[in-house]
A = this chain, B = another copy of it.
């Protein structure tokens, strides 16, 4: 297994996109806040309550995720209320969804007994949704069929 991925050199941990991504969303609290953002939370109190995180941590993470442009603060005002801030997903944030879905799916499969507590369905057709790997030719890709190659950037980088 994974023998296919073996040949690798000329690129190291600090250039790895995975490592960079983990710098941004490394903590449990970040993942939980993202989960709630995907579930539709927008207000500070919603995040704090639903994640079960303390207020200081919630505030700090919201700030961090906003700085990373995964969430965006926007003021809003309900009639008869003062202006408040609300947090919304940016496009950058929305593209983290497959990560969360894949993790959740793995948890459903291997850590839950008796099935998923929450199901994701495709609106309209109603079929269950999962995260999977596909190639541009639309084949399903399994671990054994993966091939690793230095990207174009890496090659150019090395040439210069």
Contact = CB atoms under 8 A, between A and B. Distances in A.
A78 interface: no
What class of interface size applies to chain A in its complex with B? 35 or more
A153 interface: yes
Contacts of A35: 16, 18
A146 B129 contact: yes
A159 interface: no
Nearest to A152: B115
A122 B135 contact: yes
A37 interface: yes
A17 B116 contact: yes
Contact of A132 (B3, B105, B120, B134): B134
Interface string A101-118: 111111111111111111
A114 to B, nearest CB: 4
8 contacts: A1-B89, A2-B38, A18-B100, A19-B32, A98-B131, A117-B154, A118-B151, A127-B139
